[in-house]
């Protein structure tokens, strides 16, 4: 049996991952700021609920992370895998960014991941065994329109993960990056707004139509959780796992775009022109029904 710590496990991909792994026989420590919010998690796990142990952990706080890790090791034993999933979203173009809000996003999405990884890495390195799985986003591979801070935080996750994979290659610790496209989770309805008034209404409209199209596709958090489990159990090391709606297509095609094509996409004057060009470049329709 493997012992796994999943952050942000009270909802969305984190909750689905905790349930998926528990049902597969893993011992799951489900981390969240407030374990009182674990009701849906435990109900969803049903017969596998005895495999899940909710624990208080705030990825923004050094002491909280250290206390939680110490508790797990003391009461359960060594952590075999860390699923860095906790994250928050933010909509804004560069001119509209609220810097204090933006710093809070980085605190969770990047520094929170660093905190948790630093807390488990020494023991994994010494055992020459372990697995760090970082939940990034398709926004970590493309500069998502109207989401400059969120996207930048996920680009940072990608860079950290690439660095960590090389750093750990000689110590027997594996690193995997999960790159979901649009997934049906609670983060979407919570993040449908944008700064107003603004000169960038068209940018936000196009961004929201992208996500609306993804919501219609109705890709579940459970499908991403299945990819996370696959990453843990894959006998062949693989760094990246694009998944969910538009994830594989955007990750693959963005790498083939020239800088000129990318910049020109932003110059499309009408929404219809933008939708047509986006579909030509990425093979995905984001035109409203």
Q: What is the radius of gyration, based on Cα positions, of the chain?
A: 19
**Catalytic residue (one of 26, 150, 200, 211):** 150
Answer whether 47's CB lies under 8 Å from 41's CB: no
Show the DSSP H helices in 46-169 as ranges: 62-75, 99-106, 112-127, 148-168
Catalytic residue check, 26: no
List % helix, strand, coil for the chain (3-state, nearest 5).
Answer: 55, 15, 30
Q: Is 31 exposed, middle or buried (0-12, 13-18, 19+ CB in 10 A)?
A: buried
Provide the b/e sequence for 42-72 (b: ≥16 CB within 10 Å): bebbeebeebbbbbebbbeeeebbebbbeeb
Element (DSSP H or E) covering residue 224:
helix 221-233
Listed residue (157, 62, 76, 74) closest to 118, CA to CA: 62
Catalytic residue numbers, as ranges? 150
């Amino acid at each position: 049996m493997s012992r796994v710590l999943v952050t942000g496990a009270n909802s969305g991909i984190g909750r689905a991952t905790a349930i998926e792994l528990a049902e597969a026989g893993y011992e799951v420590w489900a981390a969240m700021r407030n374990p009182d919010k674990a009701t849906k998690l435990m109900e969803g796990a049903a017969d596998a609920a005895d495999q899940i142990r909710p624990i208080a952990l705030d990825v923004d706080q050094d002491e909280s992370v250290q206390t939680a890790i110490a508790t797990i090791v003391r009461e359960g034993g060594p952590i075999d895998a860390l699923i860095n999933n906790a994250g928050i979203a933010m909509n804004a173009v560069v001119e509209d960014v609220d810097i204090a809000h933006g710093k809070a996003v980085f605190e969770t999405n990047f520094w929170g991941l660093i905190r948790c990884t630093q807390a488990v890495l020494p023991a994994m390195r010494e055992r020459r065994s372990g697995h760090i799985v970082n939940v990034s986003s398709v926004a970590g591979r493309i500069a998502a329109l109207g989401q400059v801070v969120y996207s930048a935080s996920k680009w940072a996750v990608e860079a950290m993960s690439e660095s960590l994979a090389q750093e750990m290659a000689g110590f027997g610790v594996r690193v995997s990056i999960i790159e979901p496209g649009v997934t049906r989770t609670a983060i979407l309805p919570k993040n449908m707004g944008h700064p107003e008034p603004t000169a960038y209404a068209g940018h936000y409209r196009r961004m929201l139509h992208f996500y609306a199209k993804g919501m219609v596709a109705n890709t579940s958090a459970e499908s991403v959780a299945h990819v996370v489990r696959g990453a843990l159990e894959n006998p062949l090391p693989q760094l990246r796992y694009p998944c969910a709606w538009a994830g594989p297509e955007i990750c693959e095609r963005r790498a083939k775009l020239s800088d000129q094509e990318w910049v020109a996409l932003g110059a499309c004057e009408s929404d219809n022109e933008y939708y047509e060009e986006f579909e030509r470049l990425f093979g995905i329709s984001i035109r409203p029904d």
